[in-house]
Amino acid sequence: MLNIGLILPDVLGTYGDDGNALVLRQRARMRGIDAEIHRVLLGEPIPSTLDVYTLGGGEDTAQILAAEHFIKDGGLTRAANAGRPILAICAGLQVLGTSFRASGRMVDGLGLIDATTAGLAKRAIGEVVSRPTGTVPGLTDTLTGFENHLGATILGPDATPLARVTRGNGNTDSTAATAAGASADQVGTEGAVQGSVIATYMHGPALARNPQLADLLLARAMDTTVEKLGPLDIPAVDRLRSERLA
């Protein structure tokens, strides 16, 4: 049985990122693997022994509530320390960093990602396309998603970018990077990878638009390889990718 954690969908579920858990479950079931989604709501304890965890996006108040819950509960930190794969989207990325700006102030994050998030002068919104940096072994396909954020995320030395943008904004822009005293190579980065955490600003849902990434997460969750999982032939997914990349 594959146990998929959908973490705080009541506060981090604004942009349809719950779909990432659905994609993982369906791609597992299509291979004959029993899989269930475990919804963990605000105020509930987060199990540290699930096989894979997904977090979505949300607004400022939701981010603050999520950060406070994660820090107090400790379950997600224990899961990360045990090497359980975690996928964090947008606000989820920011909350798992060391600090982020919300409601006009800097807020402590969970610290699973060496990243700080301040603010962009102009909202980054629209299609984003990026090329993997190699920080996730086996991830070679071009990544596609929809970004919608005001965060300017600067990665520290312990985190590495998931990808580099070929279209769209990504983690930060040159103005925000300069204001933060960050190096120029921060501009054009997308997402972050650290330990078992993969984080990105891509909505879509990200795993529906990037099946290779979905299968890499499944393989990690099941302690196997993508090759052993075997391929899935889903023409609708191929058409979706072609449309979004066109």
Which residues belong to the active site? Answer: 90, 203
CA–CA separation, 215 vs 228, rounded Å? Answer: 11
Nearest to 143 by CA among 203, 242, 209: 209
Q: Cα–Cα–Cα angle for 73, 106, 41, nearest 5°?
A: 30
123 is in an annotated binding site: yes
Collect all residues with Cβ–Cβ distance below 8 Å to 81 and sequence separation of at least 6.
none
Put residue 132 in one of left, alpha, beta given phi > 0 → left and psi -120 to 50 → alpha: beta
Residues that constitute the known binding site? 123
Q: Which residues are annotated as a binding site for substrate?
A: 123
